[in-house]
Amino acid sequence: MEHETHHKHKTDERTPEEVSLLMNRLNRIEGQIRGIRGMLEKNIYCVDILTQVAAARAALDSFSRELLADHIRTCVVTDLKEDRSETVDELLSIVKKLMK
């Protein structure tokens, strides 16, 4: 349970501006996905759809990198200062997932 509380605290550290910027990026990505669905429904040429998939994936990867960098600068640094070294294992686990 302590782990869940810890994560809730981290979530509260984002400023409204940070949340707004991240939400705007996700909204654009969501629009890209809807556009891909529309392309598929209209039987658009496969290569054109795949190009849009690559763009959406790149946008999502960029979102992940930004969120990860923020996590390292805030949560990870704070946890290490407070001698919570399990955060390093958590970080390594998420980096492994992101790099698949």
In 3-state terms, what secondary structure has residue 8? helix
Count how many domains the chain has: 1
CA 71/CA 60 separation, integer angstroms? 16
11's tokens: 């979530």
Residue 87 CA to residue 44 CA, distance in Å, equals: 45
This prediction's pTM: 0.79
Query: Is 47 part of a structural domain of the chain?
Result: yes
Spatial distance between the Cα atoms of 50 and 56, rounded to a whole number of angstroms: 10
9 within some domain:
no
**Does residue 26 lie within any of the structural domains?**
yes
What is the chain's pLDDT, residue by residue, as a tens digit (100 residues)?
A: 344 444 444 555 788 898 999 999 999 999 999 999 999 999 999 999 999 999 999 999 999 999 999 999 988 999 999 999 899 999 999 999 999 8
Q: What is the CATH number of the domain that holds 86?
A: 1.20.58.1000
Residue 90 lies in domain: 15-98
**Residue 38 placed within a domain:** yes
| Within a domain: 8 | no
Is 1 inside a domain boundary? no
- Helices marked H in 1-100: 2-11, 16-41, 46-71, 77-81, 86-98
Residue type, position 32, single letter:
Q
